[in-house]
Chains A and B, each alone.
Chain A
Amino acid sequence: MEQEKETRLKKLAKDVRIDILRICEKTNTGHVGSAFSVVEILLVLYSEIVKGRYPDHDRDRVILSKGHACSALYATLTRFGIMDESIFMKFASNGFRLGHHPHYEPSIGLEANTGSLGHGLSIGTGLAYAANKQNSPARTVVILSDGDTNEGSTWEAAAFAAHHRLANLCMVLDANKMQALGFTRDIIWPGEYMDRWKSFGWDVIAVDGHDVNQLTEAFSNIGVRDKPLAIIADTIKGKGVSFMENSLLWHYRPPKGEEYIKALEELSI
């Protein structure tokens, strides 16, 4: 990737984290840590990978299966002009439709309901399977969390996608290695993610999930081989704010007071 583009994306990542922090502070919303870990994945997708826009039937679609990180999705969609800023600013306000988990509204970039883990990959698999049947060039990218991989339905979808060789499907695992009650390895040992997806018949690439170059290179492999693509993105929960990184507390805690100010300072450097 050219230096200029890389610099722009890194700057954008900071801006999006600030957007997330601000909106979560304003609305007393949690899941900041989960949102921060997925920022570069979303930015690279919308900047470099996703083609077409609603209502184009053949557009690429992104499904955030880890719906609890939706503040990152909303902020990214707003930065790319897919969601109007006036909509983003009404996030989590009384009488408005944008809540802590996305509701299906394709015109503003929300391609499916998510929030109950283990749904996203099945829906994405259905989209990819249908696109193949329609000879549509549309590709589907589904972003999973570590918690998503606890769910049996995720593996049902993984098996189906591999069996039908859905090369137009990409799963990116935002592997921040934490979930609701602690470290994934202490809750349900996930095995080696690479081996697991490979054994299901997926093409697998491992990347640093905060490295925009590695992500861009990995996503460019969608459709290259005759099988679905799994990208295991090694990420840090709470990435970008020292006291939020790898902290379970920030799976829940809305940023407030001094913590908010300190976080804002760190992100603004």
Chain B
Amino acid sequence: MPAFEPDPVIEAYKKDIDRTLIRENLRLTVEQRFEKLMALQRFAEELRRAGRAARQTK
């Protein structure tokens, strides 16, 4: 029995969820999940910086 009344729109989105990522995260501790989030933030920031630099040298 589902915990929530299925919403067709949410169910449609659910098909594209990468469950391997979820399973990987569920094996981590909460602390490791936050460390991973901060690493992802640093990576995103580095990409933004590189994008800005590339636009300036164009």
Same complex origin of A and B = no
B: residues with CB less than 8 A from A are none
A: residues with CB less than 8 A from B are none
